[in-house]
Amino acid sequence: MIELFYAPTPNGRKISIMLEEIKFDYKITEIDLKKNEQFNSNFRKISPLSKIPAITDHKNKTSLFQSGAILIYLAELSEKFYEIKNRNLINQWLMAQMGDVGPLLGQHHQFHHYNPGKSEFAEERYFKIAKRIYKDLDEHLSSSDFLAGKNYSIADIAMFPWIARHNWHDVGLKNYKSLSRWYETISKREAVIKGYDCLEKGEKIPKI
Ligand SMILES: N[C@@H](CCC(=O)N[C@@H](CS)C(=O)NCC(=O)O)C(=O)O
């Protein structure tokens, strides 16, 4: 059984969606970031940077932090969404999500959504970067069904919950036809709908 240390954020949702996709038995331990529970010493033993998501695989007696590493672990264990012959491409897009898209959109959330008016420079900078991310993803997806080719993979699972914050980004997802097509396709997957609302609070995937 997998224990997922979770908060309902894009990084948390990557893993709840993956666990639903691979139909593994799992339980959620909520980490309330507003109450600073990520700094509790027990949690820091498995997530030394005090960040969700993290997992403990009680069967294999293994704990992991960092969503990308967790996705790879679960993909290898389940042999799903991480085709061996396509790994370079999948890894490339997974790393692009982890190293670029996530952290940069995260800054856009901070300045545009949570703290407007605090820094004109940062608001403009990350708005511009967010638009560029949408444009680049849209261009790529105009000639590729999914991020790493014709099959849905852990790279898509990593990227999806970030684009699902499109209402916060104010970039206008509907203007990006290929990115919208990709988003709608993934939005309809039963496991994605379930994993998005894994706390069963009735949270719906934002529509375009
Ligand atoms: N690169 C990490 C990022 C994880 C991350 O930023 N988690 C945030 C929530 S989305 C967090 O736990 N923040 C709490 C904190 O930094 O104190 C991953 O992909 O797992």
List of domains in the chain: 2-81 (3.40.30.10), 84-189 (1.20.1050.10)
Identify the pLDDT of residue 199.
Answer: 97
Q: Is 50 in the pocket of ligand 1 (CB under 6 A)?
A: yes
pLDDT in 10s for each residue of the chain, 208 residues: 999 999 999 999 999 999 999 999 999 999 999 999 999 999 999 999 999 999 999 999 999 999 999 999 999 999 999 999 999 999 999 999 999 999 999 999 999 999 999 999 999 999 999 999 999 999 999 999 999 999 999 999 999 999 999 999 999 999 999 999 999 999 999 999 999 999 999 999 999 9
Instruction: Report the atom number in ligand 1 closest to the C-alpha of 10.
Output: 10
pTM (global) more than 0.95? yes
Identify the pLDDT of residue 95.
Answer: 98
Instruction: Report the atom number in ligand 1 closest to the C-alpha of 51.
Output: 12
- Rounded to whole angstroms, how far apart are CA atoms 179 and 176? 6
Contact 73/59 with Cβ under 8 angstroms? no
Q: Phi-psi bin for 44: left (phi > 0), alpha (psi -120 to 50), beta?
A: alpha
- Rounded to whole angstroms, how far apart are CA atoms 2 and 192? 18
- Rounded to whole angstroms, how far apart are CA atoms 14 and 3? 14
- Which residues are CB-contacts of 15 (< 8 A; sequence separation ≥ 6)? 4, 6, 53, 55, 67, 70, 71, 74
Q: Is 107 in the pocket of ligand 1 (CB under 6 A)?
A: no
For 82, the token pair is 């991480």
- Rounded to whole angstroms, how far apart are CA atoms 2 and 174? 37
Closest to 160 measured CA to CA, from 175, 141, 143, 142: 141
